[in-house]
Chain A
Amino acid sequence: MSTTTPTAIQVNDLVKTFDEVEAVRGVNFAVATGEVFGFLGPNGAGKSTTINMLCTLLKPTSGSARVAGYDVVRQRDDVRRNIGLVFQDPTLDNYLTGTQNLKLHAELYGVESKLVEPRMRQVLKMVGLWERRDGVVGTFSGGMRRRLEIARGLMHSPRVLFLDEPTVGLDPQTRRSIWNYIRELKQREEITIFMTTHYMDEAEWCDRIAIMDHGDIVALDSPETLKAGVGTDRVTIHTDDDQATIAALRERFGIEAKVSEGAVTFGVPGGEEFVPRLFAELGVPIRAVSVSRPTLDDVFMSFTGTSIRDAEEDRGKARNRIMMQMMSGGRR
C-alpha cells in the first residue's frame, strides 16, 4: 500500500465554475513527490478553489486530479487518508487543550493507539509547542494556533500536506519560524508540500511555483528560472515631478514607467549601467535611485502587466462596489 508514487499531485484540465463565474479555468500541472510547491497569486485568483478541489472539499466542474495516487472524486476517502490540511481560517477547538485537539484528530483518522503519544510528542516538539501542550487553545496567540494546526495536519503522517495561506495575518518573526518548520519537515519526513501564498517573498522558499491569475496558471517554474526569465532589473527613481519623469522616460528612452508606492518604477535590462545615462539624459532632477534584481513580483508583473498588490486593490474595489450595490438594494 505504501509504494511511493513518482507524482504526488497530477492535475488535468481542472475547471470549477460557480454559477456564471469561472473561478478555475482548466489548469494543468504536476507536483513531484518531495517537492515544496507554491501557488502564488492575488486574492481571488482561484488558488483556494484549486486547493479545495485537490482536498476533496469541492467537486470539480470538469477535468480530473489525482493526489497521492488517488482520484479526488472517485477515491475521496483514500485521498483524505493521505493528506494533511491546514486551512486559511482556524479550525481548532478553542475549548480543548493542545493535546486534546491532536488526540481527537488521531482518533478521527484511526491512528494506531500506541503510536498516538509518540507521534504527538514529535509533531509538538517540531513546532515548539511541547511545553504548552496542556494549555487551552483559546489562550494561545495567533502564531501558536497556526503552529498547532500544522502539527495537527501532520499527526497522521500525510503524504501530501496542503497549506492554504499558512502565514497570512502573522507577524514577520512568526512567519519566518513557520517557514523553518516547513523546510525542516521536508528534510525529516517523506512529504510533499503544496501551499498557497500571496506573499511574494515567501514563494522564494518553494522548489517550484505556479503563478495564478484570473483562474489560469500564467507561469510555472522554479523561482530562479522565473526571475532570470524577466531579463530586466527594476529601477525606482524618486523625483519631484513624477509625471514629467514618466513623459521624459517615454520620449528619451522609449520606456513605459509607472508610479507605484510614491516612486516612478520601470524595468530595464542591465539596470546598473543604465543609471549614468539616466542622470545624463533625463532632464528632470533626481532625488534618489535604486536598482534591484528582479523579484517574483516583477515576474508576476511581467506575466500579468500589474503588480500583485495593485491586482488585489482592484479586486478589492470591485468587491466593495458590489457590496455597496447589494446594500443599497441594487442587486437582490
Chain B
Amino acid sequence: MSTTQEESRAVLADDPGELEVVRVHVPKRSVASELRAIKIVWRRELTRFASDRLRIVTQLVQPFLFLFVLGGGLQTLASGGTHGVNLKTFIYPGILCMSVMFTAMFSAASIVWDREFGFLREMMVAPVRRSSIVLGKCLGGATVATCQGIIVLAIAGLVGVPYAPTLLLGVFGLELLLAFTITAFGIMVAIRIKQMQSFMGVMQMIIMPMYFISGAMFPASGLPGWLTVLNRLDPLAYAVDPMRRLVFSHLHISAAAHHALDSGITWWGWRVPALLEAGVVLGLGIIMLAVAIWEFSAVE
C-alpha cells in the first residue's frame, strides 16, 4: 500500500512543464569509445566491490584459516623438516596466491550473476565491442583480487616476513599477474555457465585440486613421481614458485632450510627461472582471455 502512495507522490512531485530537452548524440564506434566502455565496466566492478564490505571480510576468512589454523596447528608436526623455519612463514607465499585466486574467481562469477539478473543484456546490446566488455570485466576482477591480496600482504610482519620495498613491489606485481590470469580463466568458464550454483560447483572442482597440487602447501621437490608430473602441469605452480622465491630471498635462514623448502620448480633437472615462470602465467592468461573474448562474441 505504501509503495503505491509513494509512487503517486513521485509522479506528482516533478512538474515536467519546465523541463528543457537535452538532446545527445551517440558517436560512431572508435578507439576512444571502446576505452571508455572498458573503463566503465572496470569501474563498475570496483564500485560493487567497495560497496560490499561483507564480501571483503568473508574472502579473508579462508586464507587466514589456512595460515593461522592449519599453519599453526601443523607447526609442531612439521618442525622436524623445516630447519627452524616457522610453517606459517613457509606457507605464507601460498596464502598470498590463495587470497588472490579466490577473489579473482568470485569476480569472474559476476558474469553469471549479471546473466541471471538480466544486466548482462544491457551490456550486450550496447554499441561496443564484446571484447571491450570482457577486457573491462577481466581488468576489474584483477584489480579487485589484487586489492584483496594487498590486505594479506599487509600482515607479512605477523609471520616473520620483512616489509622490504623490493619484496612488496615484487609480490604486488605477481599478485596482479595471477589475478589477471585467474580472472580470465574464471570468465572463460563463466560465459558457458548459466547458473550460479553450477559455476560454484565447477570452480570448487577445478580450483581446490589446482591449489593443492600447485605446491602452495608443500615444497615442489622430492615429490612422488605422479605428483611431480601433475605439479609441473599445474599453471598455479608457476605463480606459487616465484612468489616463494621472492619471499624467501628476503628471509635470513640457513642454506639447508633454503634447499629443503625453496628448491623450486625444475624441468628435467633444470631450475626454471622466475621470469620464465611469470611468463608462463602471463601467456596462459592472454590465451584464456582470447578464448573468453571469442566465446563472448559468439553469443547472439
Contact = CB atoms under 8 A, between A and B. Distances in A.
Given A108-B126, A171-B4, A81 B26 contact: yes
A188 B33 CA distance: 28
A110 B26 contact: yes
Interface residues of A, number: 59
Contacts of A90: 117-118
B128 interface: yes
Interface string B12-40: 11101001111111111100110011011
Contact of A108 (B11, B32, B37, B300): B37
Most buried by A among B19, B123, B126: B126
A213 B288 CA distance: 46
Contacts of B39: 107
A144 interface: yes
B11 A95 contact: no
B122 A91 contact: yes
Interface string A1-33: 010000000000000000000000000000000
A80 B145 CA distance: 33
Given A80-B125, A94-B117, A122 B7 contact: no
A157 B300 contact: no
B36 A110 contact: yes
Contacts of A128: 10-14
Contacts of A92: 118-119, 122
A59 interface: yes
A259 interface: no
A173 B7 contact: yes
Given A59-B300, A85-B125, A90-B118, A109 B47 contact: no
B58 interface: no
Most buried by A among B16, B29, B37, B47: B16
Contacts of B36: 107, 110
Nearest to A59: B300
A156 B19 contact: no
A2 B25 contact: yes
Contact of A56 (B23, B122, B125): B125
Interface of B: 3-4, 6-8, 10-14, 16, 19-29, 32-33, 36-37, 39-40, 44, 47-48, 51-52, 114, 117-119, 121-128, 300
Contacts of A65: none
Contacts of B114: 93
A238 B160 CA distance: 89
A138 to B, nearest CB: 10
B50 to A, nearest CB: 11
Interface string A112-142: 1001101101100110111110000000010
A214 interface: no
Nearest to A141: B3
Interface of A: 2, 55-59, 77, 80-82, 85, 87, 89-96, 100, 103-112, 115-116, 118-119, 121-122, 125-126, 128-132, 141, 143-144, 152, 155-157, 171, 173-174, 177, 180, 184, 188-189
Given A108-B126, A109-B126, A110-B26, A91 B16 contact: no
A96 B113 CA distance: 14
A118 B26 CA distance: 15
A177 B7 contact: yes
Contacts of A91: 118-119, 121-122
A143 B48 CA distance: 24
Contacts of A188: 19, 21
27 contacts: A2-B25, A59-B300, A77-B127, A80-B125, A81-B27, A91-B118, A92-B119, A93-B117, A100-B47, A110-B26, A110-B27, A110-B29, A110-B33, A110-B127, A112-B24, A118-B22, A122-B19, A122-B20, A125-B19, A131-B10, A141-B3, A156-B24, A174-B4, A174-B7, A177-B7, A180-B11, A184-B16
Contact of A157 (B23, B29, B51, B119): B23
Contacts of B118: 87, 89-92
Contacts of A144: 7, 10
Nearest to B37: A108
A129 B10 contact: yes
Contacts of A131: 10, 13-14
B48 A95 contact: yes
Contacts of B300: 57-59
Most buried by B among A81, A104, A126, A132: A104
Nearest to B34: A110
A85 B123 CA distance: 12
B40 A141 contact: no
A131 B12 CA distance: 12
A55 B22 CA distance: 24
Given A58-B300, A110-B36, A155-B24, 16 more contacts: A77-B29, A93-B119, A95-B52, A96-B48, A105-B126, A107-B36, A107-B37, A108-B126, A110-B37, A115-B24, A119-B24, A125-B16, A128-B14, A131-B10, A177-B11, A180-B11
